[in-house]
Structure 1
Amino acid sequence: MAIDDQTYGTLLPRKLTACTIVLSLVLLYLFSTVVALQPIVKLDYASYRGVRLADGVTQWLGMRYTAAPVGDLRFAAPQDPATVRRIQAADKHGRICLATGDDPTNLLTSEDCLFIEVYAPSRASVKSRLPVYFFIHGGGFNSNANPNYNGRGLIAASDHEIVIVTFNYRLGPYGFLASRQIRESPTASLNNGLKDQRKALEWVQKYIHHFGGDPDHVVLGGDSAGAASIALHLTAFGGRNDGLFVGAAAESVSFATVLTPEESQYQYDTFVERLGCTSSPRDVHREDNTLACLRSKSAAELQTHNRNIPYPGARNPPLFMWNPVIDDDLIQNLSYAAFDSGSFIHVPVIFGDDTNGGTIFTPRTTSSSEQSSTFLHDQFPYLTNDHLRRIDDLYPNTGPRFPHSGSWWRQVSNAYGDIRYMCPTLFVSSALSRHGLQGNWNYRYNVEDPAQMDQGLGVPHTVELGAIWGPDNVHGAVPASYRAGESNAWIIPVMQGYWTSFIRALDPNVFRVEGSPLWEEFSTPTQDGGAEDKAQRRMLFDKSHTTRMEKVSTSTRARCRYFGEIGAAIRQ
Structure 2
Amino acid sequence: MALYTLSVVLFFFFAITHAQNAVVDLGYARYRGQRNSNGVSEWLGIRYAAPPVGNLRFSAPREPRKMDGVQYASRHGALCIPTGKYPMPNNTAEDCLFLDVYAPAKSEKSKLLPVFVWIQGGGFNENSQYNYNGTGLIKASDMGIVVVTFNYRVGPYGFLSGEEVVEGGSVNNGLKDQIMVLKWVQKHISKFGGDPDHVVVGGASAGAASVTLLLSAYGGRDDHLFHAAVAESQSFAGMLRLNESQFAYNNLVIRTGCASYDDTLACLRNLDINSLQRENINTPLPTAQAPPLYLYGPTIDDELVPDYTYRLFRKGKFIKVPVIFGDVTDEGTSFVPRNISDVGDADTFIQSQFNEIQLEHLARINEWYLQENQTQQYPGAGPYWKPTSTAYGEIRYTCPGVDVSSIFAKAGVPSWNYHYAVLDPALEASGDGTPHIAERFAIFGLENVSDKDKVPASYYTTNAPIIPVVQGYWTSFIKSFDPNPHRYAGTPKWKTWGQNEGYRRIFLRTGETRMESVPMVQRDRCEYLVSIGTELGQ
Given the two structures, how large is their TM-score scaled by the length of structure 2? 0.97
Partner of residue 431 from structure 1, selected from 401, 407, 411: 407
Q: For 1:371 and 1:448, how far apart are their aligned partners in 2?
A: 28
Partner of residue 535 from structure 1, selected from 502, 505, 511: 502
Q: For 1:553 and 1:241, how far apart are their aligned partners in 2?
A: 35
CA contact (8 A) 1:126 1:209 kept: no
Q: Does structure 1 residue 443 correspond to structure 2 residue 421?
A: no
Q: For 1:378 and 1:541, how far apart are their aligned partners in 2?
A: 32
Shift of 1:543: 3.2
Tell me which amino acid in the other structure corresponds to 1:394: W
- Who is 2:223 aligned against? 242
The C-alpha deviation readout for 1:515-565, integer Å capped at 9, x for no partner, is 100000001xxxxxxx7x522000011231x21110000110011000111
Partner of residue 26 from structure 2, selected from 34, 43, 62: 43
Q: For 1:316 and 1:517, how far apart are their aligned partners in 2?
A: 46
- Who is 1:8 aligned against? none
CA contact (8 A) 1:37 1:123 kept: no
Partner of residue 397 from structure 2, selected from 415, 421, 432: 421
- Who is 1:7 aligned against? none
Q: For 1:309 and 1:240, how far apart are their aligned partners in 2?
A: 34
Q: For 1:341 and 1:143, how far apart are their aligned partners in 2?
A: 31
Q: Does structure 1 residue 513 correspond to structure 2 residue 491?
A: no
CA RMSD across the alignment? 1.4
Shift of 1:26: 3.9
* 1:220 aligned counterpart, secondary structure: strand
- Who is 1:353 aligned against? 327
- Who is 1:382 aligned against? 356
CA contact (8 A) 2:21 2:34 kept: no
CA contact (8 A) 1:129 1:214 kept: yes
- Who is 1:564 aligned against? 530
Q: For 2:121 and 2:17, how far apart are their aligned partners in 1?
A: 38
CA contact (8 A) 1:272 1:278 kept: yes
* 1:353 aligned counterpart, secondary structure: strand
- Who is 2:290 aligned against? 316
Q: For 1:148 and 1:222, how far apart are their aligned partners in 2?
A: 13
- Who is 2:42 aligned against? 59
Q: For 1:471 and 1:518, how far apart are their aligned partners in 2?
A: 25
Q: Which runs of 5+ in 1 are unaligned?
A: 1-15, 284-288, 524-530
Q: Does structure 1 residue 300 correspond to structure 2 residue 274?
A: yes
Q: For 1:21 and 1:569, how far apart are their aligned partners in 2?
A: 72
* 1:363 aligned counterpart, secondary structure: coil
Tell me which amino acid in the other structure corresponds to 2:223: D
Shift of 1:126: 5.5
* 2:534 aligned counterpart, secondary structure: coil
Shift of 1:56: 0.1
Shift of 1:250: 0.8
Q: For 2:91 and 2:125, how far apart are their aligned partners in 1?
A: 16
The more displaced of 122-131 and 251-260 is 122-131
- Who is 1:6 aligned against? none
Tell me which amino acid in the other structure corresponds to 1:135: W
The C-alpha deviation readout for 1:431-463, integer Å capped at 9, x for no partner, is 1112221x2100111001111111110110000
The C-alpha deviation readout for 1:247-304, integer Å capped at 9, x for no partner, is 0111000011111111001100000000000035xx4xxxxx1000000111111110
Partner of residue 68 from structure 2, selected from 77, 80, 85: 85
Q: Does structure 1 residue 272 correspond to structure 2 residue 232?
A: no
Shift of 1:129: 1.1
Partner of residue 549 from structure 1, selected from 487, 506, 515: 515
Q: For 1:458 and 1:218, how far apart are their aligned partners in 2?
A: 33
Q: 1:67 to 1:105 in 2, by over 3 A?
A: same
Q: 1:35 to 1:85 in 2, by over 3 A?
A: closer
The C-alpha deviation readout for 1:376-403, integer Å capped at 9, x for no partner, is 0000011111100100111134133112
Tell me which amino acid in the other structure corresponds to 1:375: F
CA contact (8 A) 1:232 1:335 kept: yes
Tell me which amino acid in the other structure corresponds to 1:388: L
Tell me which amino acid in the other structure corresponds to 2:42: Q
Q: For 1:234 and 1:330, how far apart are their aligned partners in 2?
A: 11
Q: For 2:31 and 2:19, how far apart are their aligned partners in 1?
A: 16
Q: For 1:382 and 1:120, how far apart are their aligned partners in 2?
A: 46
Q: Does structure 1 residue 362 correspond to structure 2 residue 353?
A: no
Q: Which runs of 5+ in 2 are unaligned?
A: none
CA contact (8 A) 2:19 2:41 kept: no
Shift of 1:184: 1.8
CA contact (8 A) 2:88 2:277 kept: no
CA contact (8 A) 1:366 1:408 kept: yes
Shift of 1:404: 1.6
Q: Does structure 1 residue 406 correspond to structure 2 residue 389?
A: no
User: How many residues are matched?
Assistant: 534
Q: For 1:293 and 1:429, how far apart are their aligned partners in 2?
A: 45
Q: Does structure 1 residue 167 correspond to structure 2 residue 153?
A: no
- Who is 2:97 aligned against? 114
CA contact (8 A) 2:77 2:96 kept: yes
* 1:472 aligned counterpart, secondary structure: helix
Tell me which amino acid in the other structure corresponds to 1:500: T
Tell me which amino acid in the other structure corresponds to 2:523: R
Counting aligned pairs with the same residue, the percent is 50
Q: For 1:126 and 1:53, how far apart are their aligned partners in 2?
A: 17
Q: For 2:39 and 2:527, how far apart are their aligned partners in 1?
A: 48
Partner of residue 474 from structure 1, selected from 423, 436, 449: 449
CA contact (8 A) 1:37 1:124 kept: no
Shift of 1:27: 4.3
